[in-house]
């Protein structure tokens, strides 16, 4: 059976053997071949002339492609998109090598097409997989792959590339930094990462032919297609020949995506150029992506100086300058539906008291934080799931943690703290804060002091120390401030953060049951949403966290960066949507460089 996508439109499901589908695919391939002739430039045309100028590769095709660039676009050789990326550990461009040590801020995951991708309306649409279906139980998933996909070393992209990629992700010798992602989901994953079964027994295999991929799950997993947004495969051949870091070196890099690696200067820049052998479904106008590696604190000056085309999250002081000098370049995005929140160790006093936690939740004026600090960078949060996220019930839950300082004081008194000065002094630990998060956490502490009369100090903690302490068992953080953004577009993903034994010390059996039930529920979408909404209500009412704001990342986009991606989406939001300039998104096909862009931006 075809499992309906609860939050997204029905997917195209052409039978690969259907003549009409074959004709469509041939037409698509011809269109891509024409594109190749353009990307080949003069050399390509010269080469084609040697072959007598065939229909597919002839100059006419090149002219047709040039004509497809909008009138206001820069010529093809000036289609250069320049973005910054942090100078953190940058070991790879590949998700399955490392998630947290990837070059990923401005442009990422462009060396192969994932099985599915997100469009600007946050709908899952086909990418490398033309269609997909599951068995009745929702535990065996079949993905039919685009047969035209090729690696630029001449090898075809086949199901085996995904099989090897998933096996590499599960390999204990690799010890991937994202193994939790498929834990409890993919059949055999938990045993494979523990080395208890051979990698060949992982629940992923080739189907009836090399262009069919089968993924088996431990339990019904209607969210699997959404989850497989993260499925940009590695080349099995390159993995064997050069090892897993083959894409960190232009000499060994292999791509089946819209771009290929041209240069990687450690700590300076990474340059991608259009892959002339790309046969995927994104028609990408940009011919060169230059990623400048720089500390985020320097991005704003680079932006002011026209050295980059795009940046996110300017510091509050920089945003003030931007609002004054170029307000039309400011965009407020949805991002990854990230929620910033204050959390408690509910197993330890004083936060083992529900009244204390509720008192905290009523003592923070989110509207004031929005007005005084956040501006376009966030909206007040009173619940976990951000507005627009599947199953979000922001209005229905808004009153539970609403700002009410009188009620807050009553609750604190009810918890035994009639005299707030007897409440133990607290330290609010904040994870590696940006200037914005720092301001919000300071304001939060100030409101707790003012509205509850208790002592709260703020302590910034570096990322590694914070996460080590947070996930320790038992946790070593009594009161903290942190955030979480979605990994994939399903309520299960966001809500599973609060499952017992996970990131936080809060444990609620009823919540766990509902989240797990919703995760594996195959049926009407409305019923599934209701299950998740009931779970979220428990979460908000039991207050293991006080939800402060949903991040709406501020993007600065130069006026010469044009395209459909800047138009309002179905929800009226105009910005570059998550996951940004990536093959996991439709943004690369929607973005082009205008004719008035300064020349030479990506030269140094």
| Binding footprint of other proteins on the chain (CB under 8 A) | 87-92, 99-101, 172-173, 175-180, 183, 190, 193-195, 245, 248-249, 265-269, 292-295, 297-298, 301-302, 304-305, 307, 462-465, 467-469, 471, 484, 497, 502-503, 604
Exposure of 426 by Cβ count < 10 A (0-12 exposed, 13-18 middle, 19+ buried)?
buried
* Closest CB to other proteins among residues 347, 471: 471
Q: Which is nearer to other proteins, 135 or 463 (CB)?
A: 463
To the nearest whole angstrom, how small is the minimum distance from the Cβ of residue 519 to other proteins? 16
Nearer to other proteins, 413 or 469 (CB): 469
Give 563's strand partners: 591
Give the containing element (helix H, strand E) for 547. Answer: strand 545-551
Of 269 and 577, nearer to other proteins (C-beta) is 269
Q: How far is the CB of 194 from other proteins (least distance, A)?
A: 4
Considering beta carbons, is residue 15 or 462 the nearer one to other proteins?
Answer: 462
d(CA 234, CA 158) in angstroms, rounded, equals 11
| Phi, psi (deg, nearest 5) at residue 116 | -130, 165
Q: Tell me the closest approach of the beta carbon of residue 396 to other proteins, in angstroms.
A: 27
CB of 508 to other proteins, least distance (A): 18
Q: How far is CA 471 from CA 345, 475, 478, 502, 539, in A?
A: 11, 6, 12, 8, 19
Are the C-beta atoms of 229 and 486 separated by less than 8 Å?
Answer: no
Would you call 280 helix, strand, or coil by DSSP?
coil
HEC letters along 495-541: HHHHCCCCCCCCCCHHHHHHHHHHHCCCCCHHHHHHHHHHHHHHHHH
Smaller CB distance to other proteins: residue 91 or 566?
91
506: which 2 tokens? 């809060």
H/E/C letters for each residue in 100-146?
A: CCECCCCEECCCCCCCEEECCCCCEEECCEEEEEECCCCCEEEEEEC
DSSP strand pairing (426-431 vs 456-461): parallel
305 vs 422, beta carbon nearer other proteins: 305
Look at the alpha carbons of 498, 375, 562, 271 in this order and tell me if their dihedral is positive or negative.
negative
Nearest residue (CB) to other proteins, 76 versus 494? 494
Give least dist CB 355 to other proteins, A. 29
- The tokens describing 249, both together, are 């070196």
Compute the least distance from the CB of residue 230 to other proteins, in Å: 13
Between CA 76 and CA 54 the distance in angstroms is 22
C-alpha to C-alpha distance for 300 and 306, rounded to whole angstroms: 10
Shortest approach of other proteins to residue 588 CB, angstroms? 25
Name residue, tokens 């088996």: 216
Helix H or strand E encompassing 484:
strand 479-484
Residue 268 Cβ vs other proteins, minimum distance, rounded to whole Å:
5
Q: Cα–Cα distance between 584 and 166 in angstroms, integer? A: 17
Burial-class residue 114 by CB neighbours within 10 Å (0-12, 13-18, 19+). buried
Kindly state the smallest distance separating residue 187's Cβ from other proteins, in Å: 16
**What token pair was written down for 531?**
């299950």
Least Cβ distance, residue 157 to other proteins (angstroms): 24
Least distance (Å) from other proteins to the CB of residue 42? Answer: 27
Cα(35)–Cα(30) distance, rounded to whole angstroms? Answer: 9
Cα–Cα nearest to 428, from 449, 413, 412: 449
Minimum CB distance to other proteins smaller for 67 or for 265: 265
Q: Minimum Å distance from CB 88 to other proteins?
A: 7
Q: Which is nearer to other proteins, 338 or 409 (CB)?
A: 338
Measured from the CB atom, the residue of 292 and 516 that comes closer to other proteins is 292
Rounded (5°) CA angle 461-467-471: 135
Give me the least distance between CB of 306 and other proteins, in Å please.
Answer: 9
Q: Which C-beta is closer to other proteins: that of 347 or that of 571?
A: 347
Judged by beta carbon, residue 39 or residue 430, the one nearer other proteins is: 430
Say how far apart CA 460 and CA 483 lie, in whole Å. 14
Please tell me what DSSP assigns to residue 257. Answer: S
Nearer to other proteins, 107 or 294 (CB): 294
CB of 15 to other proteins, least distance (A): 39
C-alpha span between 598 and 380 (Å, rounded): 39
328 in Cβ contact with 559 (< 8 Å): yes
What are the strands, taking DSSP E only, across 224-359? 259-265, 269-274, 288-293, 310-312, 330-332, 339-344
CB of 92 to other proteins, least distance (A): 8
Residue 547 vs 592, nearer CB to other proteins:
547
């Amino acid at each position: 059976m075809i499992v309906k996508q609860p939050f997204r439109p029905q997917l195209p499901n052409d039978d690969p053997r259907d003549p009409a589908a074959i004709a469509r695919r041939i037409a698509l391939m011809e269109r891509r071949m024409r594109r190749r002739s353009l990307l080949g430039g003069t050399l390509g045309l010269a080469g084609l002339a040697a072959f007598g100028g065939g229909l597919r590769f002839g100059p006419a095709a090149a002219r047709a492609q040039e004509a497809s660039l909008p009138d206001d676009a820069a010529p093809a050789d000036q289609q250069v998109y320049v973005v910054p990326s942090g100078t953190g550990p940058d070991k790879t461009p590949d998700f399955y090598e490392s998630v947290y040590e990837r070059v990923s801020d401005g442009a990422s995951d462009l060396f192969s097409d994932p099985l599915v991708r997100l469009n600007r309306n946050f709908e899952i649409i086909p990418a490398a997989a033309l269609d997909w279906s599951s068995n009745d139980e929702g535990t065996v998933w079949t993905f039919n792959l685009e047969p035209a996909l090729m690696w630029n070393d001449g090898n075809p992209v086949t199901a085996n590339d995904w099989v090897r990629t998933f096996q590499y992700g599960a390999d204990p010798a690799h010890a991937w930094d994202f193994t939790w992602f498929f834990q409890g989901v993919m059949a055999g994953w938990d045993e494979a990462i523990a080395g208890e079964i051979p990698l060949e027994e992982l629940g992923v295999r080739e189907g009836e032919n090399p262009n069919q991929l089968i993924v088996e799950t431990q339990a019904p997993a209607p969210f699997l297609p959404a989850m497989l947004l993260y499925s940009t495969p590695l080349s099995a051949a390159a993995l064997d020949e050069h090892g897993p870091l083959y894409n960190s070196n232009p000499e060994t890099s292999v791509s089946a995506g819209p771009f290929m690696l041209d240069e990687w200067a450690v700590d300076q820049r990474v340059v991608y150029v259009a892959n002339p052998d790309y046969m995927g479904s994104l028609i990408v106008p940009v011919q060169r992506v230059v990623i400048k590696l720089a500390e985020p604190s320097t991005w704003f000056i680079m932006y002011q100086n026209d050295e980059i085309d795009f940046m996110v999250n300017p510091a509050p002081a920089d945003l003030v300058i931007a609002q004054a000098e170029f307000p039309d370049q400011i965009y407020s995005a949805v991002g990854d539906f990230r929620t910033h929140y204050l959390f408690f160790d509910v197993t330890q006093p004083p936060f083992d008291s529900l009244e204390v936690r509720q008192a905290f939740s009523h003592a923070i004026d989110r509207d004031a934080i929005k007005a005084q600090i956040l501006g376009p960078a966030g909206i007040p949060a009173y619940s976990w799931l951000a507005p627009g996220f599947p199953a979000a019930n922001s209005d229905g839950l808004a009153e539970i943690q609403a700002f009410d300082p009188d009620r807050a004081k009553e609750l604190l008194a009810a918890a035994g703290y009639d005299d707030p000065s007897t409440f133990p002094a607290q330290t609010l630990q904040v994870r590696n804060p940006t200037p914005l998060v720092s301001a919000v956490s300071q304001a939060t502490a100030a409101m707790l002091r003012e509205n509850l009369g208790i002592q709260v100090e703020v302590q910034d903690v570096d990322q590694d120390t914070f996460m080590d302490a947070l996930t320790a068992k038992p946790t070593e953080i009594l009161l903290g401030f942190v955030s979480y953004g979605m990994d994939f577009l399903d309520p299960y993903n966001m809500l599973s953060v609060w499952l017992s034994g996970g990131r936080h010390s809060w444990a609620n059996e009823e919540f766990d049951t509902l989240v797990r039930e919703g995760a594996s529920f195959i049926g009407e979408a409305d019923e599934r949403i209701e299950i998740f909404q009931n779970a979220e209500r428990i979460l908000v009412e039991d207050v293991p966290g006080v939800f402060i704001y949903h991040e709406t990342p501020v993007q600065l986009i130069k006026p010469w960066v044009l395209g459909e991606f800047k138009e309002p989406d179905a929800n009226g939001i105009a910005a570059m949507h998550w996951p940004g300039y990536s093959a996991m998104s439709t943004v690369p096909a929607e973005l082009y460089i205008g004719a008035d862009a300064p020349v030479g931006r990506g030269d140094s």
